Structures are given as C-alpha cells and as structure tokens.
C-alpha cells in the first residue's frame, strides 16, 4: 500500500537493524485518515471471506483493527495484557514473549466474545517474530472459531514471523513489507 | 446520545453500585459503528473550537478518540501506561491512581507530540472520579498546550469527576450521563 510505505519513508525512524519507530502515526500518535485507508484496504482484501469478528491486541493494534471492523461492518475484540494472577476462568489466555520487555505477558479474551461459529480475522499493526500472532492463534484455537487470515499493516519479514505463519497454511496479508533495516536504510519488499 | 444510552440499557451489566461493565461494545469488544456515531457526535460538538489534536489514554480510550479524530480530521495521541523506571526525559509524565488496581500508574506522552501551539481535546470512554483526566491535564499543562475541553462517552456523575472539572472552568461534554447504579438499576441524567 503506497500511502503507508510513503508515510514510513517520511516519518519512520530506524532505531537499529531490527527496530523501526513509527510513533508519529501508528504506535503513539495515530493518523486517523491513514488508519481509515488501511482499514479500507484490509476490508477490500477480506470482504469475500465471511469474516464475523476481528481480533487484535491492545494497545497499538486497536486503531488498525477498529478501522478494518468499521469497513467490514463487524465487531472488534482486543485481547488484554494482564498479569497472570488476575486471570479468571471466563477468559481464554495465552502466554507471549514480550518483544519490548524481557518478561512474558499473558493475553486474555473473554470466552463470551469468541464462539465456534465465528470466522476470525487477526489484524495487527506490526508482524515481526510472530509471537503476538501465535498467542492470538492459541486463543482462537481454544474457542474453536475458524481463522480466516492475518492482516498486518507492517511486516518486518527478516524476523520470519510471517513466513512461519504461511508455512502453517495461514493467509497473511501485508500492506508494507520491510525486507531490511540494515545500515539505517528501509528496504521494502 | 440515544444510541449509546440504548446500548448501555441493552448490554451494560451493573456489577455493583459503582461499577458498570460495558465490555461487549466499548472496553473489550468494540462496536465500530457505534464508535463512529460517537465520533461524529463529539466532532459536531467541538467542530468550531479549533481542535488541533486529541489526547486519550490507552487502551479503551483509543477507539472513541480515533473516531473523533477521524471526524474532526486531526491526529490522536494516546498516553501510554508505563512503569516509572522506564521513563525517559523525552516524555511528559503524570502519576494517576488506578481505579481497577490499587497501585499508581504512570502515564506518558512523548514531548514531540504536544506543543504550546496545540489546542487539545481530551476524549475518553469513561469519566468517573476524574483521576485519568487529571493526569492528562497535568501533561497538557506541562506542554503549555491549550485545553479546549473534555469529551467522555459515559460519565458516572455520582463519582463527581465531571463536576470537579467543571468547577475549574473546563468544558465537559458527556454522551451518556449516569446518575446512579444503585440496586442494579441504571439511572440516566
């Protein structure tokens, strides 16, 4: 998606060979018009797949997921990050490795918002190692809902999370695929 | 706003005399169409006030704030909840009392996203004791930006946060004002 790639070129900050900072329009400050364009594009790609619900993880996945849900006309559920000791049996939970902190994080979705009849689209802002997506897949599997696919605004494909999902037969739609951040240079795929 | 009040009547769960659970459309699962209606209504109320930026707090404020930003055509910044020891000097920070946990939470906004020229609208999902809003006001004051007003989807007016803001001369716009949750009954104002 050209508008997103251009925004990354204009405002993205390459912090290291593996870290791209897009705090000015996606992860801290949000550009609502760009989010709407992203939502429209995901809706275009998944409109014939009978999606009944979108799932994402708080906090930075919410904007992208909300606009996709708005354009597909379906509800959005955001998994909550919790401390393990606050978990109750009315939640599906999964452990994920945090990519910013060193500890594990528990993500949780209330059982009442996922059912075996649901056709779920996972939407997130970033796909890197795929740890967060793996946690959502685990939760979807517990609910026996059907996974339609995964949509990510940005993929850092050199961290191989997307490839591993596709090797499992999962459809992955990426709006801006980044092959490399080496030497401070953003290389799109 | 009738659509929001009706949704609260249909799906809200009165957990106690002070706690209303609206997880099915606002705080965990999100209804994007209702969020758009809410955003349109806030935009209608604040469209002549020269708002340049919207500020909210992660995670459940993001959906309401995003749709308001979408309809006003301005960026949205969400304050991040952090542990105090991860704070760096490029952030404005404020301590707020958490209403769900017993500890204090630090909220943070990167300095680069607030300037003295900004006219800020605070948008949140809930206004209760006003602790979260007070934290945002503190951050806005540090940045020397001008506050235009506060918009909240739901106010629990019996917890007096809105009243205290208005006593400071702050404009507070509420879409669904709840006077009481006593005896399991939702009384709107």
Residues B160-182 have pLDDT tens digits of: 999 999 999 999 999 999 999 99
Residues of A within 8 A of B63 (CB-CB) are: 62, 66, 76
User: Best interface-test mutation with A: which of B63, B98, B109, B143 has the largest number of A CBs within 10 A?
Assistant: B63
Q: What is the pLDDT of residue B84?
A: 61
Give the closest-approach CA distance of A76 to chain B in angstroms.
Answer: 5
CA distance B110 to A45: 34
Residues of A within 8 A of B62 (CB-CB) are: 30, 59, 62-63, 66
The pTM assigned to this predicted structure is 0.96
Q: What is the pLDDT of residue A88?
A: 75
Tokens encoding A57 = 């993880």
Give the closest-approach CA distance of A167 to chain B in angstroms.
Answer: 30
Strand, coil or helix: A118? coil
What mean pLDDT do residues B115-126 have?
98
Tokens encoding A16 = 């290291």
Number of A:B CB contacts under 8 A?
Answer: 96
pLDDT above 80: residue A99: no
Identity of the residue in A33, A62, A113 whose CB atom sits nearest the CB atom of B63:
A62
Identity of the residue in A35, A67, A110 whose CB atom sits nearest the CB atom of B28:
A110
Instruction: Label residue B50 exposed, middle or buried (CB < 10 Å: 0-12, 13-18, 19+).
Output: exposed
What mean pLDDT do residues B90-104 have?
81
Contacts of B113 by beta carbon, 8 Å cutoff, 6+ apart: A23, A24, A28, A29, B53, B75, B77
Identity of the residue in B29, B36, B113 whose CB atom sits nearest the CB atom of A70:
B36
B77–A30 C-beta distance less than 8 A: yes
Q: pLDDT band at B100, cuts 50/70/90?
A: low
Q: What is the pLDDT of residue B137?
A: 98
Strand A104-110, strand A146-156: pairing: unpaired
Tens digits of residue pLDDT in A142-186: 999 999 999 999 999 999 999 999 999 999 999 999 999 999 999
Measured in residues, chain B has a length of 189
Contact of A125 with A68, CB cutoff 8 Å: no
Give the closest-approach CA distance of A88 to chain B in angstroms.
Answer: 15
Strand, coil or helix: A60? coil
- Residue B130 gets the label, from left (phi > 0), alpha (psi -120 to 50) or beta, of left
Separation in Å, CA B156 to CA A84, B20, B95, B125, B127? 29, 9, 22, 11, 6
pLDDT above 70: residue A33: yes
Contacts of A14 by beta carbon, 8 Å cutoff, 6+ apart: A20, A21, A181, A184, A185, A186
Q: What is the pLDDT of residue B104?
A: 85
- What is this model's ipTM? 0.96
pLDDT above 60: residue A86: no
User: What's the 3-state SS for B70-124?
Assistant: HHHCCCEEEEEEECHHHCCCCEEEEEEECCCCCCEEEEEEEHHHCCCCCEEEEEE
B30–A62 C-beta distance less than 8 A: yes
- Residue A176's φ and ψ, nearest 5 degrees, are -140, 105
Tens digits of residue pLDDT in B69-96: 999 999 999 999 986 655 578 999 999 9
- Number of other CB atoms surrounding residue B14 within 10 Å: 17
What mean pLDDT do residues B14-20 have?
96
Residues of B within 8 A of A70 (CB-CB) are: 32-33, 35-36
Tens digits of residue pLDDT in B20-48: 999 999 999 999 999 999 999 999 999 99
Identity of the residue in A35, A74, A80 whose CB atom sits nearest the CB atom of B28:
A80
Q: What is the pLDDT of residue B71?
A: 98
Strand, coil or helix: B165? helix
Q: What is the pLDDT of residue B103?
A: 75
Give the closest-approach CA distance of B167 to chain A in angstroms.
Answer: 30
Contact of A175 with A38, CB cutoff 8 Å: yes
Q: What is the pLDDT of residue A89?
A: 84
Tens digits of residue pLDDT in B140-163: 999 999 999 999 999 999 999 999
Separation in Å, CA B12 to CA A56, A99, A147, B26? 23, 35, 29, 10
Q: What is the pLDDT of residue A100?
A: 60
CA distance A19 to A156: 9
Please list the residues that pair with B13 across neighbouring strands: B21
Q: What does R_g of chain B's alpha carbons equal in angstroms?
A: 16
Q: What is the pLDDT of residue A101?
A: 59
Residue-by-residue DSSP string for A134-183: HHHHHHHHHHTPEEEEEEEEEEEGGG-HHHHHHHTT--EEEEEEEEE-GG
């Amino acid at each position: 998606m050209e508008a997103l790639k251009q925004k990354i070129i204009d405002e993205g900050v390459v912090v290291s060979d593996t870290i791209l900072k897009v705090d000015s329009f996606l992860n801290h400050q949000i550009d609502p018009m760009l989010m709407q364009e992203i939502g429209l594009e995901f809706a275009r790609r998944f409109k014939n797949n009978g999606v009944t619900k979108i799932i994402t993880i708080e906090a930075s996945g919410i904007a992208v997921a909300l606009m996709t849900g708005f354009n597909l006309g379906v509800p959005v559920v955001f998994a909550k990050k919790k401390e393990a000791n606050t978990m109750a049996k009315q939640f599906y939970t999964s452990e994920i490795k945090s990519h910013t902190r060193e500890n594990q994080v528990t993500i949780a979705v209330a059982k009442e918002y996922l059912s075996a009849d649901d056709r779920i689209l996972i939407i997130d802002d970033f796909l890197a190692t795929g740890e967060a997506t793996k946690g959502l897949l685990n939760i979807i599997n517990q609910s026996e809902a059907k996974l339609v696919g995964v949509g990510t605004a940005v993929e850092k494909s050199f961290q191989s999370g997307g490839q591993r999902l596709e090797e499992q037969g999962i459809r992955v739609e990426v709006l801006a695929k980044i092959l490399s951040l080496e030497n401070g240079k953003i290389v799109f795929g």
